[in-house]
């Protein structure tokens, strides 16, 4: 293996792993804030106990997110120094702004929220979790601004003398059409994860311990399931918009998503193909006529470009080379994303139906489904990102810089192999710790409420302590 | 003043913020090994930094992001060149975070012991390596005409670099002890101050040698004066600790760390990475910088938002200003 392959595997592993925690952080911060708001407005202690229960799960997840997050910022420089030199003038700014505007908000106000139960007035304390939640959303916007530049570079000029891209219009970077499509898609994707998480955990409690706090877990389940369904609809609407932008700015990615080799108007939407993995020869295929044309262009007869003609065009534009992404990966991750998301919505709807008018379902399958449910939108998020990043290949910045040119010239195979092995082992160990802790606190159920301490009593125990 | 100089100063400020704040977090983490007698006392130590350590660490992320945005060449050369030390720092920071956050999530003693090891090791390693890294940036490392680091790990383990590491390690320990002195009450507070004073003598000696070495290498009046102020501030911190003035003792070490960063960056300026092979190959604030347009936008963002960050982060310290003792730790 060369440095390039190792560096790509490392980026893939560390980023996919980090991104198990990010969508849940973004979505669950808002849902926990919602639960606390329900308690604040109604005084109903069920919502307070739910806030503390899901708050604890949120924090276990958040800790993993920050622990694995620093690597993200460092490895651009460590493994991708020539990439960093090439795009730093543009790419660095959203990263720095993300830290200054978002990470400080998140970390400071979460600290206040976790430890501040007995130190802040209830309204101020509630505001802290909302501010932290807002911080997570800002963070998504700026990091997606950086990523969108890699998909669709805008607002720059090439400086041949310095061999780098230079920023000419920061407003264009912050209103990149890929960003405007990806940001809403990602945010609703986060809410699917959080909704499915709350719904799955709550339904498991309702079914497994119907005599223990079912009066609290039932509304929590309905809240989670409703969020899952609404957000799921949101991903369909925003995904449709995103598909049209992708067809326009990255037609090769769209063609690879569909394993569409020849230009077609109208183009059918492939549901699945059995044959070769990359769909170039099929034994059996299932497709919906004209749908891809509609998804990609908004017209049932619109033309969708195929891989082969785009490859020919790119050879003219960029010189000889292979401009095709890995088609099996893009084709199947695209399908896996849609399947996992759709399945989560179907299960959410079924579960809502089975709990209508106060019923408590007892099906063993539904109980198993409650355990699987939180994993589905999480998988959909991962598949979506693997699709979007692999679909951009062989470019690191589309049309400007091939991935192979971005890797650090000064790092050795031994160095990258060491760090890849280290992170893989460390992250594997942490996954075991994390899952065990989450299960432990899920099973523990709602905490009992302690009577609030007298705020003027300097000797009272802390409301929360590590 | 041109914008590249402004950003050099701003990055200095971010490193001051990071090392002054996470410096005492590292110190408290190290003290978990030596200062506390039982689980309750270890929890007292941990809870002095509990609400604030995460926001302290964000200073590092912002310093890194700002370097990427303002001086991409500096960011690229530094991070790819100092590969293995940074890998060690990352691993240390990760296990430390897990130790801090998950320690009290399980009651069994074996789990907590493992978390304590993670916290102690995760504090010692970055406290040492940040000093090694900063000292080497100032001293100069093998950088070729393309701005690529061409040395290995051993090039960083020179006497000046290692001394820099011992200096940050020891002054963070003292800084952490005085922070505990300021934030706790009862026997653990007294032990912290006494340990801080004893360690302070060693740290002060190392610091003095390092500052003299730095000033001697650079030999400019500014660096000599700054170096004298570093040692003076640190000595005042120790004297105040001796006089049981907890706040002033902590202020002394905080100012000393801040001024140490200023001294090193002043010795570095106008370079950002010194090449030991040929001075002409050094990265400077001008040849490593972003465009004026990018720097201007970033300046507006920094000027608008840094004061707000300082305000709310300061407020969080105010909210958690009470001293804690073993009786505050819930069962």
Instruction: Report DSSP letters for A378-391, one per residue.
Output: HHHHHHHHHHHHHT
Report pLDDT for B161. 96
- As to burial, measured by CB atoms within 10 angstroms (0-12 exposed, 13-18 middle, 19+ buried), residue A458 is exposed
Which pLDDT band holds residue A449 (cuts at 50, 70, 90)?
confident
Q: Is the pLDDT of residue A372 over 70?
A: yes
Q: Is the pLDDT of residue A453 over 80?
A: no
| A461–B contact, CB cutoff 8 A | yes
Report pLDDT for B330. 86
Q: Write the pLDDT tens digit of every residue in B115-127.
A: 999 999 999 999 9
Number of domains in chain A: 1
**Start-to-end Cα distance in chain B:** 57
Query: Which of B61, B312, B319 faces A70 most closely, judged by CB atoms?
Result: B61
Retrieve residue B287's tokens.
Answer: 């040849």
Buried b (16+ CB within 10 A) or exposed e, A29-48: bbbbbbbbebbbeeeeebbb
Q: Which residue has the tokens 């034994």?
A: A283
| Strand, helix or coil for residue A157 | strand
Retrieve residue A299's tokens.
Answer: 């017209």
Q: Is the pLDDT of residue A455 over 70?
A: no
Which pLDDT band holds residue B219 (cuts at 50, 70, 90)?
confident
- A466 and B103 in contact by Cβ < 8 A? yes
Count of alpha carbons within 13 angstroms of residue B262, beta-carbon side: 18
Q: Which residue has the tokens 């219009």?
A: A169
Which pLDDT band holds residue A266 (cuts at 50, 70, 90)?
confident
Q: Which residue has the tokens 């160095």?
A: A415
Q: Does residue A358 belong to any structural domain of this protein?
A: no
Mark residue A224 as left, alpha or beta (left: phi above 0; alpha: psi -120 to 50; beta: remaining).
alpha
**Residue A398: Cβ within 10 Å count:** 19
Retrieve residue B2's tokens.
Answer: 């041109």
Q: Which residues of A touch B331 (CB under 8 A)?
A: 461
Report pLDDT for A303. 83
Lowest mean pLDDT among A64-73, A257-266, B287-296: A257-266
Average pLDDT of chain A to the nearest whole number: 92
Q: Is the pLDDT of residue A280 over 80?
A: no
Q: Is the pLDDT of residue B18 over 90?
A: yes
- B322 and A114 in contact by Cβ < 8 A? no
* Chain centroid offset of residue A315 CA: 33
Q: Which residues of B touch A110 (CB under 8 A)?
A: 54
Report pLDDT for A1. 67
- Give the integer Cα–Cα distance in Å for A148 and A142: 10
- A466 and B43 in contact by Cβ < 8 A? yes
Which pLDDT band holds residue A279 (cuts at 50, 70, 90)?
low
Question: Are the C-beta atoms of A387 and A19 separated by less than 8 Å?
Answer: no
| A282–B contact, CB cutoff 8 A | no
- Give the integer Cα–Cα distance in Å for B74 and A68: 24
Give the strand pairing for A156-159 and A164-167. antiparallel
Q: Which residue has the tokens 């170096």?
A: B227
Which ipTM was obtained for this model? 0.95
Report pLDDT for A83. 96
Which 159-188 residues of chain A touch chain B by CB within 8 A? 164, 166-168, 170
Q: Write the pLDDT tens digit of every residue in A80-128.
A: 999 999 999 999 999 999 999 999 999 999 999 999 998 999 999 999 9
Retrieve residue B18's tokens.
Answer: 């990071």
To the nearest whole Å, the CA of B182 is away from the closest chain A CA by 16
DSSP state of B272: E
- Give the integer Cα–Cα distance in Å for A270 and A447: 49
Cα torsion A146, A23, B67, B146: sign: negative
- Give the integer Cα–Cα distance in Å for A102 and A114: 18
- Give the integer Cα–Cα distance in Å for A412 and B218: 33
- Give the integer Cα–Cα distance in Å for B189 and B323: 10
Which pLDDT band holds residue A292 (cuts at 50, 70, 90)?
confident
- Give the integer Cα–Cα distance in Å for A355 and B118: 45
pLDDT mean over A33-44: 96
Report pLDDT for A271. 81
Q: Write the pLDDT tens digit of every residue in A390-422.
A: 999 999 999 999 999 999 999 999 999 999 999
Report pLDDT for A307. 92
Domain of A215, in residue numbers:
3-248+374-444
- B62 and A96 in contact by Cβ < 8 A? yes
User: Which residue does chain A place closest to B288, by CA atoms?
Assistant: A85
User: Which residue does chain B place closest to A111, by CA atoms?
Assistant: B51
């Amino acid at each position: 293996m060369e440095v390039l392959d190792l560096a790509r595997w490392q980026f893939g592993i560390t980023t996919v792993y980090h991104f198990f925690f990010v969508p849940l952080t973004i979505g669950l911060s808002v849902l926990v804030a919602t639960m606390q708001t329900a308690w604040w407005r109604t005084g109903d202690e069920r919502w307070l106990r739910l806030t503390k229960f899901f708050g604890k799960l949120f924090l276990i997840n958040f800790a993993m997110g920050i622990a694995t997050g620093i690597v993200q910022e460092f490895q651009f420089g460590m493994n991708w120094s020539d990439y960093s030199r090439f795009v730093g003038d543009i790419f660095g700014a959203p990263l720095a702004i993300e830290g200054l505007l978002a990470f400080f908000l998140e970390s400071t106000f979460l600290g206040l929220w976790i430890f501040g139960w007995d130190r802040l007035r209830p309204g101020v304390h509630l505001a802290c979790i909302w501010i932290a939640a807002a911080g997570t959303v800002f963070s998504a916007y700026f990091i997606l601004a950086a990523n969108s530049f890699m998909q669709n570079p805008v607002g720059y000029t090439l400086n041949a003398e310095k061999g780098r891209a230079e920023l000419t219009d920061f407003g264009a970077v912050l209103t990149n059409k890929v960003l405007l499509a990806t940001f809403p898609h990602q945010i609703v994707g986060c809410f699917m994860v959080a909704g499915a998480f709350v719904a799955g955990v709550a339904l498991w409690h309702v079914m497994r311990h119907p005599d223990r706090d079912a009066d609290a877990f039932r509304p929590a389940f309905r809240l989670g399931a409703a969020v899952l369904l609404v957000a799921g609809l949101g991903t369909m609407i925003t995904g449709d918009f995103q598909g049209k932008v992708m067809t326009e700015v990255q037609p090769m990615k769209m063609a690879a998503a569909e394993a569409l080799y020849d230009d077609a108007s109208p183009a059918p939407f492939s549901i699945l193909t059995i044959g070769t993995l990359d769909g170039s020869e099929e034994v059996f295929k299932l497709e919906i006529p004209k749908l891809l044309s509609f998804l990609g262009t908004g017209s049932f007869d619109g033309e969708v470009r195929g891989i082969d003609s785009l490859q020919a065009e790119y050879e003219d534009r960029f010189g000889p080379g292979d401009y095709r992404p890995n088609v099996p990966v893009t084709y199947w991750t695209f399908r896996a994303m849609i399947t996992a998301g759709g399945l989560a919505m179907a299960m959410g709807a079924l579960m809502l139906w089975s709990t209508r008018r106060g019923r408590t379902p007892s099906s063993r399958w539904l109980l198993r489904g409650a355990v699987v449910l939180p994993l589905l939108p999480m998988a959909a998020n991962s598949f979506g990102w693997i699709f979007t990043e692999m679909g951009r290949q062989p470019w690191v910045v589309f049309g400007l810089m091939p991935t192979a040119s971005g890797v650090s010239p000064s790092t050795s195979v031994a160095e990258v192999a060491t760090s890849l092995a280290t992170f893989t082992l460390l992250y594997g160990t942490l996954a075991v710790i994390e899952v065990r802790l989450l299960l432990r606190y899920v099973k523990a159920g709602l905490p009992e409420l302690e009577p609030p301490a007298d705020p003027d009593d300097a000797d009272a125990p802390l409301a929360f302590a590590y | 003043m041109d914008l590249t100089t402004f950003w050099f100063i701003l990055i200095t400020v971010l490193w001051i913020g990071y090392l002054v704040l996470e410096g005492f977090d590292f110190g408290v983490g190290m003290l978990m090994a030596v200062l506390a007698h039982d689980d309750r006392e270890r929890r007292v130590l941990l809870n002095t930094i509990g609400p604030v350590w995460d926001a302290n660490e964000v200073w590092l992320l912002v310093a890194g992001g700002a370097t990427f945005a303002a001086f991409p060449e500096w960011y690229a050369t530094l991070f790819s060149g100092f590969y293995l030390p940074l890998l060690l720092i990352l691993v240390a920071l990760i296990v430390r975070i897990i130790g801090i956050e998950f320690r009290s999530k399980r009651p069994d003693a074996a789990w907590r012991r493992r978390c304590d090891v993670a916290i102690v090791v995760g504090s010692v390693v970055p406290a040492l390596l940040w000093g090694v890294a900063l000292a080497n940036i100032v001293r100069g490392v093998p950088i070729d005409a393309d701005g690529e680091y061409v040395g290995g790990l051993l090039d960083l383990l020179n006497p000046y670099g290692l001394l820099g590491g011992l200096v940050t390690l020891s002054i963070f320990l003292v800084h952490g002890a005085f922070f505990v002195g300021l934030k706790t009450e009862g026997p653990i507070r007294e032990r912290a101050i006494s340990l801080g004073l004893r360690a302070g003598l060693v740290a002060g000696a190392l610091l003095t040698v390092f500052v003299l070495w730095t000033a001697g290498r650079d030999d400019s009046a500014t660096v000599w004066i700054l170096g004298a102020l570093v040692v003076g501030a640190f000595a005042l911190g120790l004297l105040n600790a001796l006089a049981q003035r907890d706040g002033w003792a902590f202020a002394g070490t905080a100012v000393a760390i801040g001024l140490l960063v200023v001294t090193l960056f002043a010795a570095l300026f106008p370079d950002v990475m010194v090449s030991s092979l040929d001075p002409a190959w050094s990265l400077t604030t001008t040849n490593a910088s972003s465009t004026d347009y990018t720097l201007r936008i970033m300046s507006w963002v920094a000027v608008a938002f840094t004061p707000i960050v300082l305000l709310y982060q300061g407020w969080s310290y105010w909210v958690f200003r009470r001293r804690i003792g073993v009786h505050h730790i819930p069962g």
